[in-house]
Amino acid sequence: MAFRCDLIIRDATILDGTGAPRFQGDVAVEGDRIRAVGDLSSASGTREVIATGRALAPGFIDAHTHDDRAVLCGPACQHCKVSQGVTSVVVGNCGVSLAPLRVSKRPIPPLDLLGDESWFTLGSFAEYADALTRNPTNVNTLAFCGHMSLRVEAMDGDVYRAANDREIAQMQSRLREALQQGAAGFTTGLYYPPNAQAPTDEVIAVGEALAEVGGIYMTHMRDEADGVLDSIRETLRIGRETRAEVVISHLTTNAPCRKTSAVPPIRSR
């Protein structure tokens, strides 16, 4: 098949991401799209790269990051990702997201993973999306709305307790707005002391907005040690009652034993 394109990478060891065995071949690229894969000896490229002895694969997805701030800093801030083959990142994990939240003083942990108050200036998810557009990075970004960010706003920073009905209603409204403005779903960090105070029913009530748009529920569960089975049951209950797909961010059973559960054990149905 003879054709001409922008770029041909020749004689690479190709791992195509499907699970198929690796194979030697060429890859043709036109603009930002792969045009052909295989024996492209009859094709030509404006630019050609000989990749003999090198592996070629689709970009990797870093599915759990706290790069909410880094993706707003332009391509230079994401060199550490691209240099490792990462082309897509998921942000807003563990209930921690830059938007929608404005604060006037340094945020409490773990929100401060994302920086000091100078970074929390985005009062809506639409503003976060606009910031990504105005300061494009060189990785794709899938952004989630964080439970703790919603709690800090709705509860005026008083997050070491369960939310009341008015506060839950505000969080649900803000999550619904974020989902409509491009958030992929809702995350919680029930493992962390501020959000450990949130009972299961609070999470379910806030997360009811997920069903309206098919959003994902992603969580750093409440307990990874003695209470890990109860935490899994709680997570599945939240997914079932919000009718959302569930992602458990840290599925581990070897953490040091600790008892942080703020709710009674969840009994299986």
Q: Is residue 264 part of a domain?
A: no
Domain membership of residue 39 as a residue range: 4-56
E strands in 31-131: 33-38, 44-50, 55-56, 60-62, 86-91, 101-102, 121-122
Where does the pLDDT of residue 265 fall: very low under 50, low under 70, confident under 90, or very high at 90 and above?
A: very low
The tokens of 125 are what? 């998810």
Same domain, yes or no: 39 and 151:
no
Query: Based on the structure, what is the number of domains in the chain?
Result: 2
What is the reported pLDDT for 234?
Answer: 98
The tokens of 239 are what? 């997914």
Same domain, yes or no: 52 and 84:
no
- Give the span between the Cα atoms of 126 and 100, in whole angstroms: 9
What is the reported pLDDT for 250?
Answer: 85
Question: For the domain that residue 213 is a member of, what is the CATH number?
Answer: 3.20.20.140
Of the candidates 233, 240, 166, the one whose C-alpha atom is nearest the C-alpha of residue 204 is 240
Same domain, yes or no: 66 and 39:
no
Alpha helices in the chain (DSSP H): 79-82, 125-134, 147-154, 165-180, 193-196, 200-207, 210-213, 228-242
Same domain, yes or no: 168 and 187:
yes
Same domain, yes or no: 19 and 128:
no
What is the reported pLDDT for 194?
Answer: 93
Q: Over pLDDT 70: what percentage of the chain?
A: 94
Q: Is the pLDDT of residue 49 over 50?
A: yes
What is the reported pLDDT for 7?
Answer: 97
* CB distance 224 to 230 below 8 Å: no
Same domain, yes or no: 134 and 44:
no
Same domain, yes or no: 140 and 79:
yes
Q: Is the pLDDT of residue 264 over 70?
A: no
Q: Summarize the confidence of residues 190-196 as an average pLDDT.
A: 95
Q: Is the pLDDT of residue 268 over 50?
A: no
What is the reported pLDDT for 77?
Answer: 74
Same domain, yes or no: 219 and 155:
yes
What is the reported pLDDT for 215?
Answer: 96
Question: For the domain that residue 16 is a member of, what is the CATH number?
Answer: 2.30.40.10
Same domain, yes or no: 45 and 89:
no
Q: Is residue 106 part of a domain?
A: yes
Q: Is residue 265 part of a domain?
A: no
Q: Is residue 157 part of a domain?
A: yes
Q: Is residue 94 part of a domain?
A: yes
Q: Is residue 256 part of a domain?
A: no
Same domain, yes or no: 109 and 22:
no
Same domain, yes or no: 50 and 181:
no
Same domain, yes or no: 239 and 151:
yes
